Amino acid sequence: QDLDAPFATQCRDPEIAASQPRENAAFVMLARNSEINEARNTIQSIEKQFNQWFHYPVVFLNNEEWDPAFIRAMNQSVSGGAIFDVIPKEDWSYPEWIDPEQARASMAEQQKNGVWNGGKESYHHMCRFYSGTFYAHKALQKYKWYWRLEPGVRFTCALTYDPFVEMACHNKSYGYTIALWEEPNTCPSLFRAVDDFRVHINLPRTPAWNAMMDQTWQPWPIRKLKAWLNKDHVNRQGERWNLCHYWSNFEIADLDFFRGEAYQGLFRHLDRLGGFYYERWGDAPVHSLAVHMLLPPDRLHHFSDIGYHHEPFFQCPGNAPGGQLPGNKALGNGEWSSESPGAIGCRCQCPDLRRRNNRGICLA
Report the residue closest to ligand GDP, judged by CB: 122
Angle at 100 between CA 97 and CA 103, to 5 degrees: 95
Stretch that binds ligand GDP, among 122-130, 192-200, 228-236, 263-271 (CB under 6 A): 122-130
Torsion angle defined by CA atoms of residues 356, 40, 177 and 337, in that order, rounded to the nearest 10 degrees: 100
Q: Which residues contact 84 (CB under 8 A, 6 or more apart)?
A: 60, 62, 66, 71, 74
Tell the smallest beta-carbon distance from residue 25 to ligand GDP (Å): 19
Does residue 30 interact with ligand GDP by CB under 6 A? yes
Query: Which distant-in-sequence residues (6+ apart) come within 8 Å of 127 by Cβ?
Result: 276, 280, 281, 282, 283, 286
Residues making contact with Mn ion (CB under 5 A): 150, 249
Candidate list 47, 150, 251, 279, residue with the active-site label: 251
Residues 144-183 interacting with ligand GDP (rule: CB under 6 A): 150-151
Helices (H), 172-239: 190-200, 207-210, 220-229
User: Which are the contacts of 210, defined by CB distance < 8 A and separation ≥ 6?
Assistant: none
Rounded Cα distance, 138 and 150, in Å: 20
Q: Is the Cβ of residue 150 or residue 195 nearer to Mn ion in the bound state?
A: 150
- Does position 32 bind ligand GDP by CB under 6 A? yes
Q: Does 40 bind ligand GDP (CB under 6 A)?
A: no
CB of 246 to Mn ion, least distance (A): 14
Total residues contacting ligand GDP (rule CB under 6 A)? 12
Q: Which range of residues in 118-126, 154-162, 177-185, 321-329 is near ligand GDP by CB under 6 A?
A: 118-126
Quote the crossing angle between the two packed helices 68-77 and 36-46, to the nearest 10°.
10
Q: Confirm if 103 and 278 have CB atoms less than 8 A apart.
A: yes
Gap between the Cα atoms of 249 and 265, Å rounded? 23
Number of residues assigned to the chain:
364
Of residues 9, 44, 63, 111, which one binds ligand GDP by CB under 6 A? Answer: 63
Q: Whole-number minimum distance, CB 240 to ligand GDP, in Å?
A: 24
Q: Which residue in the set 8, 28, 31, 212 belongs to the binding site for ligand GDP (CB under 6 A)?
A: 31
The one of ligand GDP, Mn ion, none whose footprint includes residue 315, by CB under 5 to 8 A per kind, is none
Q: Spell out where the chain has E strands.
A: 25-30, 58-62, 82-86, 145-149, 154-155, 174-176, 179-181, 244-246, 251-254, 300-302, 308-310, 313-315, 333-335
8 binds, among Mn ion, ligand GDP, none (CB under 5 to 8 A by kind): none
Q: Residue 35 interacts with ligand GDP (CB under 6 A)?
A: yes
Query: Using alpha carbons only, what angle is made at residue 351 by residues 350 and 353, rounded to the nearest 5 degrees?
Result: 75
Q: How far is the CB of 282 from Mn ion (least distance, A)?
A: 11
Does residue number 186 form part of the binding site for ligand GDP (CB under 6 A)? no
251 among known catalytic residues: yes
Residue 151: CB minimum distance to Mn ion, A? 7
Distance CA 172, CA 345 (A): 29
List 10, 42, 45, 62, residue binding ligand GDP (CB under 6 A): 62
Which residues belong to the active site? 251
Contact residues for ligand GDP (CB under 6 A)?
Answer: 30-32, 35, 62-63, 122-123, 126, 150-151, 249
